[in-house]
Amino acid sequence: MSAYSPPEVRPLISSERIAERVSELAARITRDYAGGSVVLLSVLKGSFMFAADLARQIALPVRIEFLGVRSYGDDTKSSGVVQITQDLTRPVEGLDIVIVEDIIDTGLTISYLREQLRSRNPASVKVASLLHKPARIQREVDIDYLGFTIDDVFVVGYGLDYAERYRNLPFLGVLDPSLSPQA
């Protein structure tokens, strides 16, 4: 594990456990799309690390697309008002898409994205999410490939941020701002 482990972040899921789970999800995707190919649609920025690790372990032709979204609200709560900050660069019509998300919290972002994608006429859309916080769900969401279910805590690391910090931590941790005047 990396030496960088800020005191205000309490480790929750180690990089080893993440790697193990990502391998299992990739194996399932490989089986489910056997004989075909898949478009991984990474929702920026939070899913970039998960998407990169997942992509490397899917034993099929994979295309990677990125979609930038920003959800307004205060820093540790999403508002459900989603703005697309970077759109797809290529059509996805007729393709099998797996949306890759970092975390499904209220479910509002993923519901909005599913809705938006429908007009692009993909052949199918499934969802892979590293994390799910069922405590705060507002919109029922089918998560086809789920990494971990967590309690209602604010997590950072492995792509997830607080005010753009901590994305580079190789593990997932709970941010406790009381442990650091900086956080």
- Residues annotated catalytic, as ranges: 105
- 160's contact among ligand IMP, Mg ion, none, with CB below 5 to 8 A by partner kind, is ligand IMP
Nearer to ligand IMP, 148 or 154 (CB): 154
Pairing of strands 82-86, 96-104: unpaired
**Other C-beta atoms lying within 10 Å of the C-beta of residue 172:** 27
Furthest-apart CA pair in the chain: how many Å?
53
In whole angstroms, the minimum distance from the beta carbon of 61 to ligand IMP comes to 27
Cβ–Cβ under 8 Å, residues 176 and 156: no
Q: Does 103 help bind ligand IMP (rule: CB under 6 A)?
A: yes
Q: 163, 105, 173: which is closest to 139 by C-alpha?
A: 105
Q: 12, 50, 34: which is closest to 146 by C-alpha?
A: 50
- 107's contact among Mg ion, ligand IMP, none, with CB below 5 to 8 A by partner kind, is ligand IMP
One character per residue 83-102, x = contact with Mg ion (rule: CB under 5 A): -------------------x
Distance CA 114, CA 50 (A): 19
Please state whether 73 falls in left (phi above 0), alpha (psi between -120 and 50) or beta: left
Q: Does 127 help bind ligand IMP (rule: CB under 6 A)?
A: no
Interface region with ligand IMP, contact rule CB under 6 A, candidates 1-9, 10-18, 59-67, 95-103: 95-103
Q: How many residues bind ligand IMP (CB under 6 A)?
A: 17
Interface region with ligand IMP, contact rule CB under 6 A, candidates 14-22, 51-59, 87-95, 101-109: 101-109
Q: How many residues bind Mg ion (CB under 5 A)?
A: 2
Torsion of the alpha carbons at 120, 32, 147 and 58, rounded to the nearest 10: -90
Hey, which residues between 46 and 65 contact Mg ion (CB under 5 A)? 46
Binding site for Mg ion (CB under 5 A): 46, 102
Binding site for ligand IMP (CB under 6 A): 46, 71, 78, 80, 101-109, 154-156, 160
